[in-house]
């Protein structure tokens, strides 16, 4: 069965610093990969997605992610973090077998220091 691992439960960075959030997946075929952000008290908002093609994907709010098949990774990056980026970030993978459900990682909570 497919699975998603986000190794970092909590990351703290200073405003203006660069950011990388890690995501590793386990999937038997070409994955469909997503990053979502959840601000406190809010639902999930899609940051970006990868289906095929260029392995470097651009998203909203200045985020990008790179799909690396050899490493089974889909890490999220941002060159300069803003205080408003403080939130919980979830990586997700499309499921096997024709099911349309997504499987989510446990999330990484981002704290931004001024």
Nearer to other proteins, 12 or 18 (CB): 12
CB of 57 to other proteins, least distance (A): 12
**Residue 34 within binding range of other proteins, rule CB under 8 A:** yes
Can you tell me which of 8, 49, 62, 72 binds other proteins, judged by CB under 8 A?
A: 49
| Residue 21 and residue 10 in contact, taking contact as beta carbons nearer than 8 Å | no
CB of 84 to other proteins, least distance (A): 18
| Residue 19 and residue 13 in contact, taking contact as beta carbons nearer than 8 Å | yes
* Secondary-structure breakdown of the chain: helix, strand, coil percentages, each rounded to the nearest 5: 10, 50, 40
**Residue 59 within binding range of other proteins, rule CB under 8 A:** no
| Residue 10 and residue 28 in contact, taking contact as beta carbons nearer than 8 Å | no
CB of 110 to other proteins, least distance (A): 14
């Amino acid at each position: 069965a497919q699975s998603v691992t986000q190794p970092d439960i909590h990351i703290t960075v200073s405003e203006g610093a660069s950011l990388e959030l890690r995501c590793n997946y386990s999937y038997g075929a070409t994955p469909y990969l997503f990053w979502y952000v959840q601000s406190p008290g809010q639902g999930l908002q899609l940051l970006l997605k990868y289906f095929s093609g260029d392995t470097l994907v651009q998203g909203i709010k200045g985020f990008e992610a790179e799909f690396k098949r050899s490493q089974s990774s889909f890490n999220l990056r941002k060159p300069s973090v803003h205080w408003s980026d403080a939130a919980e970030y979830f990586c997700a993978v499309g499921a096997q077998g024709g099911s349309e459900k997504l499987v989510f990682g446990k999330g990484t909570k981002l704290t931004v220091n001024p």
